[in-house]
Amino acid sequence: MNRILILFLASLGIAAAQDDAKAKLMEAGQKAFPTCMACHGQDGKGLPIGDKKMAPSLAGSKIANGKPEILAAVILKGIAKETQDYMGIMAPLEAAFASDEQLAGIMTYIRNSFGNEASVVTPEEAKAFRTQWAEQKQPMTRAKIEELEK
Ligand code: HEC
């Protein structure tokens, strides 16, 4: 076999392995998503309650689709309730996502559902984010999130 063909077949193999890893993360994320549904809704658009919503839409959300370190912080530490815009509260979910596979799964899932198309988050990355935020004891604030988005 010539080298080009071998390289081509090898790259197909790598692509298949990556697809497989993504599929596994998406499956783990889908299983964990009911934890978020009570507020963000089954369709991720935010559960309506009267003329308000329990929580913002994850579809097209800058936080969901943006820098994964910020999304990880929001899930692990929650968001301080500073306004009455939403009926719910984004509580810290560190305890529910104690495994790196689960954290990577939920992040990958919401970044690739509801029309979102953002990068996969691997368990290795999830672990690094957990370490990055280990010292943060307070929930995130909108001001801090905006600062980090710059
Ligand atoms: C008990 C209700 C509740 C649950 C459960 C919940 N959230 Fe939230 N979430 C909120 C509320 C309320 C906000 C808005 C917080 C604010 O700005 O005051 C929010 C904000 C967010 C945001 C920021 C969205 C944006 O663009 O502003 C993300 C991302 C998010 N939640 C992800 C999740 C994920 C993932 C889960 C499940 C693992 C989850 N949430 C579970 C209530 C909830």
Task: Map out the domains of the chain as residue ranges.
Answer: 24-149
pLDDT attached to residue 1:
62
Return the ligand 1 atom nearest residue 107 CA: 35
Residues in CB range of 62: below 8 A, 6 or more apart? 149
Q: How confident is the model at residue 5 (pLDDT cuts 50, 70, 90)?
A: confident
Distances in whole angstroms, Cα of residue 121 to Cα of each of 2, 4, 48:
35, 31, 29
Q: How confident is the model at residue 56 (pLDDT cuts 50, 70, 90)?
A: very high
- The single-letter DSSP state of residue 140 is B
Tokens 């800058």 belong to: 62
- pTM comes to 0.94
Handedness of CA 54, 59, 61, 64 (dihedral sign): positive
Helix %, strand %, coil % for the chain, to 5?
Answer: 55, 5, 40
Residue nearest to atom 43 of ligand 1 (CA): 90
In terms of Cβ atoms closer than 10 Å to its own Cβ (0-12, 13-18, 19+), residue 107 is buried
Residues 104-111 have a mean pLDDT of 98
pLDDT tens track for 67-107 = 999 999 999 999 999 999 999 999 999 999 999 999 999 99
For residue 48, count other CB atoms closer than 10 A to its CB: 11
C-alpha 33 to ligand 1 mean position (Å)? 12
Tokens 């596979």 belong to: 101
CATH for 24-149, options being 1.10.760.10, 1.10.540.10, 3.90.1150.10, 3.40.50.880: 1.10.760.10
Return the ligand 1 atom nearest residue 81 CA: 18
In terms of Cβ atoms closer than 10 Å to its own Cβ (0-12, 13-18, 19+), residue 149 is exposed
Residue nearest to atom 31 of ligand 1 (CA): 90
Residue of 31, 37, 39 with the most ligand 1 atoms within 8 Å of its CB, for mutation: 39
